[in-house]
Amino acid sequence: MSDEIKKGLLGIVVDETEVSKVMPEINSLTYRGYAAQDLCAKCKFEEVAYLILNGELPNNKQLKAFEKQERKERKLSKTLLADIKKIPRKAHPMDVARTVVSIMGLEDNETKDNSPKANLRKAMRIFAKTPVALAAFYRARKGKKMIPPKKNLSFSENFFHMCFGKVPKKEIVKAFDVSLILYAEHSFNVSTFTARTITSSLSDIHGAITGAIASLKGPLHGGANEEVMHMMNKIKKPENALKWINNALDKKDVVMGFGHRVYKNGDSRVPTMRNYFGKVAKIKKDKKFEKIYDIVEKVMIERKNIHPNVDYPTGPTYHLMGFDTDFFTPIFVISRITGWSAHIMEQHAANKLIRPLASYKGSQHRKVVQLNQR
């Protein structure tokens, strides 16, 4: 019997999860059973983070305790702040994200403790400190003074405050919150599977999240939102969009921000993010990228029947908010830490070492010849 090879583990079910699922019956990504777009409409990001990490939506008391803990954990050590200042300014922020989480593992006295309680505490620390560290680098690489976190600001407000020195209009903060909710979790994607694979050897949560960040960096995963913006900057103006996209398709170029292995009829997260992209464009009085967006999307659907994924509207939304393009994927990181952490804890709870087989196609058995006879 010949072994059938499933490249990329296509269609292979490797484990069970309670964290999330794309439910075909409602054509939606769901977190713990709740449709992501409903969570965007009715919850702020902290509520969804609590849900993903703890299994249920919080009541008022639980949310306040969760927010208090997150805000308390934001402060970085003097050592980590000093290390951030030494990082080369040209370093990619995803490499910075990976490095700061690794340093947090060196500093955490519970690094080796994989008990559920310790892992939840560590997850909260990584969740709270990573955006602070990234915002500190955002400032440092521009030669600007680092801004300390504020305990009276929400998760999203504090990130804006630390990057830009001010909190934008509430509509902008809401759009950012929505993007974090939509990015928070997505079942066994490549970075989450990486985190679970690392965890399966009984490694620690800092190591697993460091590995997940390295996986997310790639343009076929999290880096796609950056590539979308690079594409839009190449197109430059709406008048060029039709010719550009048709030329790209004629040359069989890969168009980033389109297609998804899980969704066959379009990413269920896109309509929500597209709506908030429009709101941000209106506030910023800049419709250029919206027009490019619509033209490219129309041609992709008409010519290839390929729909956009969530990275397509998210990239230009972050651009309009004022973030540098290479910071788009790190923003994805600060959200997805919640999903990775939930999966890491789930893996520890019912662990089996992930060790797939490979079909060998190298040389058959060969005899070793002494060096002087070769």
Query: Which residues, 6 or more positions from 237, have their beta carbon under 8 angstroms from its beta carbon?
Result: 288, 292
Catalytic residue of the set 161, 311, 319, 343: 311
Look up residue 371 and give its DSSP letter.
G
Number of neighbouring beta carbons within 10 Å of residue 143 = 7
- 31 to each of 23, 58, 137, 139, 322, how far by Cα in Å? 10, 14, 31, 34, 29
Listed residue (161, 157, 172, 180) closest to 277, CA to CA: 172
Listed residue (346, 319, 345) closest to 331, CA to CA: 319
SS3 20: strand
SS3 245: helix
Q: Which residues pair with 269 in a beta bridge?
A: none
Listed residue (22, 9, 19, 33) closest to 197, CA to CA: 9
SS3 113: coil
Active site residue 161: no
- CA 206 to chain CA centroid, Å, is 16
Listed residue (246, 267, 177, 256) closest to 222, CA to CA: 256
Active site residue 260: yes
Alpha carbons 260 and 293: distance in angstroms, whole number: 18
Helix H segments across the chain?
36-42, 45-54, 60-72, 78-86, 93-107, 116-140, 155-164, 170-183, 190-200, 205-216, 224-235, 238-250, 270-283, 288-299, 311-321, 328-349
Alpha carbons 359 and 347: distance in angstroms, whole number: 26
- 21 to each of 25, 77, 282, 370, how far by Cα in Å? 11, 37, 33, 57
Alpha carbons 40 and 271: distance in angstroms, whole number: 12
Catalytic residue of the set 161, 186, 260, 348: 260
Which tokens is 124 given? 């909260």
What type of residue sits at position 326?
A: D
Q: Which of the residues are catalytic?
A: 260, 311
